[in-house]
Amino acid sequence: MDDSLLAQGLRVTGLLLEAVGEPGRLGPALHAMTRLMDADLGMLASARRGDAGAGAALMATRSGSYSGQDADLAFPALRCYRRWGALQPAGRLHRESEIRRLAQEQDGAGTTDDEATPGTYCLSHVDAGEGRICYVGFTRHGNARFDPERIGVTESLLTHLGRACAINRRIESMRTVGAAVMERFERCHVGVAMVAEDGTIRYRNDAARRLVDEADGLRVDDHGRIVTREPAETEALLQAIREHIAGAANGRRSTPRLLRIARAAGAAPLAVAFSPFRGEGDPRLPGSAGGSAVLMIYNPDRPPRGHRDVIAQVYNLSSQEAELVCAIAAGDTLEDIARVHRRSLEAVRSQLKRVFRKTGTSRQTELVRLALIGPAAMVQ
């Protein structure tokens, strides 16, 4: 093999690796592949299997200019290739004579879309994951044929191209999900904070920002870490955070934890529930650099408006049962609840058993977590 072709192939490989996680880098990679093929135009498009069209395509010229165009308009032969060429094994560049022959064999077409594509061309496809196909094509002006050796080198790179497209697609899906998660956290009834293993705050919604900024029970120290009023409580908080992050990293389900954080004299303690969160795939998401723990912070002195009604609807509880859940989440004991509502302790315990049965829980800690981080906490 010509050393210059090998060097070009290695350059394309490097650019494809750079394009993993950075879709914007696919332009330089396609340009390098176009030069490797000694083509005048290169095309890259992605579509779902069975789609009528390929949608927008990335185009690259010899000079390195890129543009986004409709794939079928810019490369008419792609319509013919999708019907018949894409039924062939992936990762092989098919020249126009092969595609024309396949079309004529299948439907007896005398005139096919490929005739609208100027010059000579070749097309291929690779699996892009999640039910999508990545199409790649090259054209040359006039009747100049593609060099078989260049075709061979390019074919050896198509698997890397498909892998880059598949990973980028997966990352884009994760970013979409991540954006939806962030939006939901912002609208959450209770305070939500994402913290690193050492307690550094990576994200907090408005409710958590107000709670922490008040520095009543929880506050942010000079290093940006979440701490409590007492060193022992801070250590317990950090220990719970570490356990949840480590459990998520090892694929273990963490034991439900609920901490009561002391506040100023006379104020009911804050309730803090924990959940692991991993945001790999998008460096802009909190938790992408290693794991994070999600802290759901509940201030019993300021219960979310309508929270009791939402809990009742979500878990099919009576208003009294939902009120019991909110009271427990606020830190009240069964004795406190019985005294305030002038009911017997046995009646309250019996009601709690019904709540356990309806919510699928068996401990008060689980019940509080359900109230803080379950579906009811996410409903406006």
pLDDT digits (tens, 9 = 90+) for 85-129: 667 788 889 888 787 777 777 665 544 454 555 568 888 888 887
Q: Please return the burial class of 251, using the count of CB atoms within 10 Å of its CB with bins 0-12, 13-18 and 19+.
A: exposed
Q: What confidence category does residue 35 fall into, taking pLDDT thresholds of 50, 70 and 90? A: very high
More confident residue, 171 or 210: 210
Q: How much is the average pLDDT of 329-352?
A: 90
Q: Is the CA virtual torsion 338, 258, 276, 178 positive or negative?
A: positive
Lookup result for tokens 């092989």? 92
Give the residue extent of every domain in the chain.
Answer: 3-178, 187-301, 303-380
Phi–psi pair at 19, nearest 5 degrees:
-80, -10
Say which CATH class 303-380 falls into.
alpha beta
How many angstroms separate the Cα of 135 from the Cα of each of 47, 106, 289?
8, 21, 33
Phi–psi pair at 79, nearest 5 degrees:
-60, -45
More confident residue, 375 or 219: 219
DSSP conformation class of 225: B
Question: Which one of 82-91, 207-216, 294-303 scores highest in mean pLDDT?
Answer: 207-216
One-letter identity of residue 10: L
Residue 169's pLDDT is what?
Answer: 76
Residue 296's pLDDT is what?
Answer: 84
What is d(CA 155, CA 92) in angstroms, rounded to the nearest whole number?
A: 6
Residue 51 CB partners (closer than 8 Å, separation 6+): none
CATH architecture label of 3-178: 2-Layer Sandwich (3.30)
pLDDT digits (tens, 9 = 90+) for 63-81: 877 777 777 777 777 887 8
Q: What confidence category does residue 314 fall into, taking pLDDT thresholds of 50, 70 and 90? A: confident
Residue 322 CB partners (closer than 8 Å, separation 6+): 308, 309, 311, 312, 315
Percent of the chain with pLDDT strictly greater than 70? 81
Residue 302's pLDDT is what?
Answer: 75
Residue 290's pLDDT is what?
Answer: 58
CATH of 187-301, one of 3.30.450.20, 2.60.40.10, 1.20.150.20, 3.30.70.3270: 3.30.450.20
pLDDT digits (tens, 9 = 90+) for 42-56: 999 888 876 766 677
What is d(CA 65, CA 2) in angstroms, rounded to the nearest whole number?
A: 27
More confident residue, 324 or 72: 324
Residue 361's pLDDT is what?
Answer: 87
Residue 350's pLDDT is what?
Answer: 94
Q: What confidence category does residue 226 fall into, taking pLDDT thresholds of 50, 70 and 90? A: very high
Residue 277's pLDDT is what?
Answer: 65
pLDDT digits (tens, 9 = 90+) for 271-293: 888 876 655 444 444 444 557 88
More confident residue, 266 or 349: 349
| 249 pLDDT higher than 70 | no
| 264 pLDDT higher than 90 | no
Query: What does pTM read for this prediction?
Result: 0.52
Mean pLDDT of the chain: 80
DSSP conformation class of 48: E
Domain 303-380 in the same topology as domain 187-301: no
Residue 110's pLDDT is what?
Answer: 46
